[in-house]
Amino acid sequence: MPMSAPKAAAEVDPIARVAVDISLAHLDRPFDYVVPDQLAAAVVAGSRVRVRFAGQLVDGFVLERVAGTEHPRRLAFIERSVSAEVVLTAEVAGLARAVADHWAGTMADVLRLAVPPRHARAEVAAAAARGLPAGPPPATAPGELTDWGRYGAGRSLLAALRAGRSPRAVWPALPGPHWPAEIAELVAATIAAARGVVIVVPDARDVARVDAALVARLGVGQHVALTADLGPAERYRRFLAISRGEVRVVVGTRAAAFAPVRNLGLVVIWDDGDDLHAEPRAPYPHVREVLMLRAHLAEAAAVIGGHAVTAEAARLVESGWAKLVAPSRAQVRLLAPLVRPGDDPAAARQPSAGGRLPTQAWEAAHAALGDATPALIQVPRRGYLPSLSCDHCRTTLRCPTCAGPLATTDAGTAPACRWCGRLAVGWTCPECGSRRFRATVVGARRTAEELGRAFPGVVVRTSAQGQVLDRVPAGAALVIATPGAEPVAEGGYGAALLLDGWALLSRADLRAGEEALRRWLNAAALVRPAADGGRVVVLGDGTLRAVQALVRWDPVGHAERELAERTTLGFPPAVTLAEVAGAAAAVAELVAAAELPVEVEVLGPVPVGNAGGRPATEQVRALIRVPRAQGAALARALHEAQGVRSARKAEPVRVRVDPIDVG
């Protein structure tokens, strides 16, 4: 057979620097390849290619084309061009590198989060339908309820955005469901200066609300919405519309933080305390920090909004990186409902809806129903009776087979394990021998069942995971919802009952108080103002800080006190904290091998629960704490140690920098 002709290199910039899709820490760098002459036009910066690496064909992104290389040996040729479409802009590539460095991860892992998988048909269809960028937004005036003059520096913020400047703000939003329209005003001001916008919200329901507000304010064709439920083809088509510059505004969930918006002028995150903003895949970045990092690198404006304020946002204000754009107390009093703690904290632990509602809660619900308005009841847990304990000694019910928690899924059924599904027929308490059990926490379905009996003839609606309502009509009704699933009521709720406050506040978590207040504020913000009869009753100890902050509607003060306490105690965000988890020997080896900063404190390792099928005694976790100024050095040291271990094919260890679930 005749031999094939040798490949010839491209005449101009024959070297391509490629980010190879390999997540090994010791290979976390670009590699140089020769661009074949026949692929010179297709292999462009930001395009997808296939290259041979360690004898296998792997995917990669072209970072740049250059004239030469410093590699001393002969370079391999790029095998083929997957597509000439530019899907990785230089700005997003730089952001991906910065995110990987900040969270001690690899760029390959970040790029999997940033760039969706290619869909060839969608790419071809999008190219055929490609049009000119959308025109300027319609000249519509903001409504009374979106007047940024209600916030101290709100009009100055809008003026700065219209002028093309890059202000940074922490925005505690006023009560009410109008925050999507207020975000739309920020977007309108930014695109008036011919700059792009990235908006990230916790879930698809919030995306839909902001999407509707943007259409109402800007018109059709000015933006795209990105959510996971779009499907691969439609999601990729919308991604291409952004990367090609056909739209300048994107709203979406986590992955939208990396959307390749051109001439970025503003990033917005709503409700940054929601745990949906924390990426569950390596390198485990948080959207808030990703967007703040992106705003810094792109010299763009940044707004952190929400009804609640996190300690991380308070630190940005304290450091001077952001300014507080807050409403006056007069505006808060005008729009906030009347909030009161429950008058009988002991009743909150009774295992029935009737026993759990103190006098004030009953009165608030009756008043709302009497005014023909819906009443919102927030329940911390979904299901029926999701947590059980011995009626005599209060020992938590555990499965005798796998030690998983026992729960009941319906009235009259025997407890079943939530892990393995086995029924615990004839259960006996291993501590005291009792056969009677009680509810530790009552779920949304059981609450709906009992309140339905307590308020006969009243419509009862349930909104929880698996059946989340977006809106409910006006009229007398009881709406039972879990946190984050509260629907918007037409005209607002007449009352909100926030049950089982003790269950939220007693969690062994650094952010328990902050998270409880965030959930309460989000629900209370849907209630009518006090002048219109709106009332909120929270079942919790009225002397606790989070309850007091809700009563005063003071999220800023609560966040400032949280930050002050964490600074004193050495907790995030005042310090950088890294979690190293895995097999005991592997964790010890990694900590010993890392060249940690001088001012370092290693806590542990301590055993952790069963993970990945490994016995609990073999899994440990160590916490490494350093001053905030040395956070970059800590991440670099852990990444380098991971690289040494991955080169030796040692057992992997999970590294998370500033995890949100520090218990």
Whether the per-residue pLDDT at 615 is higher than 50: the answer is no
User: Hey, what CATH class is 15-115 in?
Assistant: alpha beta
**Overall average pLDDT of the 181-201 stretch:** 97
| Contact indicator for 212, 94 with CB cutoff of 8 Å | no
Does the pLDDT at position 98 exceed 50?
yes
Average pLDDT, the chain: 86
Structure tokens at 593: 């091998």
- pLDDT, greater one: 447 or 265: 265
pLDDT tens by residue, 501-536: 777 777 767 888 999 999 999 999 999 999 999 999
Given a cut of 90, whether residue 300 has pLDDT beyond it is yes
Digit-coded pLDDT (tens) for 458-485 = 888 888 877 889 999 999 998 988 888 8
User: How buried is 142 (Cβ within 10 angstroms: 0-12 exposed, 13-18 middle, 19+ buried)?
Assistant: middle
With a cut of 60, say whether residue 231 has pLDDT above it.
yes
| 168-172/223-226 β-pairing | unpaired
* Sequence ranges of the chain with CATH classification 3.40.50.300: 144-331
* CATH number among 3.30.460, 3.40.50, 3.30.70, 1.10.287, domain 575-657: 3.30.70
Domain(s) of CATH 3.30.70: residues in the chain: 575-657
Which CATH number does the domain 144-331 belong to among 3.40.50.11540, 3.90.1150.110, 3.40.190.80, 3.40.50.300? 3.40.50.300
pLDDT computed for residue 1 by the predictor: 38
Residue 401: Cβ within 10 Å count: 12
Q: Who wins on pLDDT, 410 or 227?
A: 227
* In the chain, ranges of CATH 3.40.1440.60 domains: 15-115
272, 306 in Cβ contact below 8 A? yes
> What confidence score (pLDDT) does residue 360 get?
78
**CA proximity to 381, closest of 474, 311, 481, 450:** 481
Report how far apart the first and last C-alpha atoms of the chain are (Å, whole number): 68
pLDDT tens digits along 574-589: 999 999 999 999 999 9
Over the stretch 313-370, which tens digit does the pLDDT of each residue have?
999 999 999 999 999 999 999 999 999 987 544 444 443 344 456 777 778 888 888 8
pLDDT at 421 over 80: no
CA 227, 204, 172, 571 torsion-angle sign: negative
| 472 residue type, one letter | V
Quick one: average pLDDT of 539-543?
Answer: 84
Q: What average pLDDT score do residues 278-305 get?
A: 96
The pTM is what?
A: 0.88
d(CA 361, CA 347): 12
By CB atoms closer than 10 A (0-12, 13-18, 19+), residue 128 is: exposed
Q: Which amino acid is at 394?
A: R
Report the amino acid identity of residue 333. R
Task: Give the model's pLDDT for residue 501.
Answer: 77
| pLDDT score at 190 | 97
Around Cβ 32, how many Cβ atoms within 10 Å?
15
